[in-house]
Amino acid sequence: MLSQRLFLACIYLDLLITCEAQNTDGNSTSVVNAIPDGPKRGWSSGPNGRGTIDIIYSCGITMFLCSWSVLCLNVPGSDDSQFRVFRRRIYITALAFLGPEFLFQIALGQLVSARNSVQQFRKSGVEGWTMTHAFYADMGGFVLHSKEFPPFPIDAKQVHYLWTKRYIEFPSISKEDIRDKNKVDGVLRIFTVSQIVWFVIDMAGRRAQNLAITCGELTTAAFIVCSFGTVLCWRYKPADVTTSVIIETKATMAEILCEAGDQAATPYSRTPLDFVSRKEWPWSIYWSNWINILRCLGIVFGPTVRPVSRFENTYSLELPGNIKWIFFGVTAVYSSIFVAGWNYSFPTQTELTLWRAAAGTMCASLIAYWVVTEFGFVWWPLLQKTFRAGAQNATDIEKVSKNPYVGRRKSKLNYVAACVRNNTVSQDPQFNVPLKAILPIYVIGVFYCHARTYLFIADIIQLRSLPASAYDTVDWSKFLPHF
């Protein structure tokens, strides 16, 4: 019921934003200009309407709830303290606050993985493996204990692999038992949905009565779109689970790896069973590259010991096939909402220009990311295969050159390029990223972060001079029928 209410609210919100991006008839102003020109007011205490504090509170509490209450963090490690878990939640909340589309991408990837796991078990004749089981496994709920190896979490695909190979018994935990581990506060979820529904209704009422809508409210509306997608993806995922289920195996880890053959011969990144389910894709490679840049600066994220004792919350699973277009579609809606404020009234023309530039950059970054990624990971490798013969001839000519200066210079450039391509400590080849992808992504990321930062700043500085109608409250009596 709560999901249905939230769905209807977000559909109405999307229609509302779409209407703001269109023009009305010739006798009225452009609907895009949701903050009409006219008398301006600064800070208002709001004794006869809503004040500045009311606007800040409404937007702030809604964005906080969209970032905090929707979280379904992975199971912590056995040695994690409550403070460390709380600090981790603060970090993920900050990530969701700064980029709610990133959290939606993580949730969407986990949903795809859980559905594939359920189908995989059904093909093996198991009907008792549910979406809840799959989510619980992928969040590190099952921990494998072997004779000679440290315990480590196993995901849904690894559970299926070990079970089909008869290394473990099928997990006997029921869906109800997993739900009992769920410690999420239902009251907080209800309050979050109620706040979102009320916020959407209030925006609709303000639009209907031609009252000003602030940039902060527009930003909050964008948050709601991504948060709604995240809630839907994590509908079956347990939240705030702190305990795991131990799965014993009589086989040694050496026996499991030897019987797996060559596929298990490569070094692992998280656990020895990476060969079963690990699949790096462009976003996970980008993310690893950025995290390792922070590591070089002394900022360390995630587990540092192998095998890991928990699954990292920011680990993003692949979005296969058409699923990635769902992500791009939601992200496009999220970014385009800011464009709805193209003609908003700002205290100065410079601030309006910066808002337009930031909103345009948000949309352009999405397109640029797709083009660069497709070129670097798909199109360029195809071109290399096509012109491989010519490239080989050029390489032979370079080898003939005996100029020592040219050789030293190319050697240094090759070293720098190799460091940029793969900056992991272990030099894991699965994290190799084409220079033609990562270098433009650096630039896109810088522009995106600056645009996102300014949009937040604009939400605040605009409050110093708002149209007078921004402080008016909706007259709900006008919506009631009069007889």
Q: Which residues of 97-109 are buried (b: 16+ CB within 10 A; e: fewer)?
A: bebbbbbbbbbbb
* 277-306 pLDDT tens trace: 999 999 999 999 999 998 888 887 777 788
How do strand 152-154 and strand 142-145 relate by DSSP bridges?
antiparallel
Find out whether 211 and 106 touch, Cβ atoms under 8 Å. no
DSSP 148: S
The residues pairing with 143 across neighbouring beta strands, listed in sequence order, are 153, 246
C-beta atoms surrounding 46 within 10 Å: 15
Per-residue pLDDT of the chain (483 residues; tens, 9 = 90+): 444 444 444 544 444 444 444 433 333 333 333 344 557 777 787 667 788 999 999 999 999 988 888 899 999 998 899 999 999 999 999 988 888 999 999 999 999 999 999 999 999 999 999 999 999 999 999 999 998 899 999 999 999 999 999 999 999 899 889 988 776 656 777 888 888 889 999 999 998 998 889 999 999 999 999 998 998 999 999 988 989 999 999 999 999 999 999 999 888 999 999 999 999 999 999 999 999 998 888 887 777 788 999 999 999 999 998 899 999 999 999 999 999 888 888 889 999 999 999 999 999 999 999 999 999 998 988 888 777 655 555 454 445 445 555 555 667 788 888 889 999 888 888 999 999 999 999 999 999 999 999 999 999 999 998 888 888 888 887 777 765
What is the rounded distance in angstroms from the CA atom of residue 214 to the CA atom of residue 340? 11
What is the rounded distance in angstroms from the CA atom of residue 294 to the CA atom of residue 44? 42
DSSP 479: G
What is the rounded distance in angstroms from the CA atom of residue 12 to the CA atom of residue 182? 31
Residue among 231, 240, 306 nearest 76 (CA): 240
Order of strands across the sheet with 245-248? 152-154, 142-145, 245-248
User: Could you give phi then psi for residue 40, rounded to 5 degrees?
Assistant: -110, 150
**Tokens, residue 237:** 């995922």
CA distances from 456 to 40, 189, 461 (A): 21, 25, 9
The residues pairing with 153 across neighbouring beta strands, listed in sequence order, are 143
In a 10 Å sphere around its CB, with 0-12 CB exposed, 13-18 middle and 19+ buried, how is residue 460 labelled? Answer: exposed
Three-state SS across 265-302?
CCCCCCCCCHHHHCCCCHHHHHHHHHHHHHHHCCCCCC
Peptide bond into 307 cis (omega under 30): yes
What is the rounded distance in angstroms from the CA atom of residue 399 to the CA atom of residue 438? 28
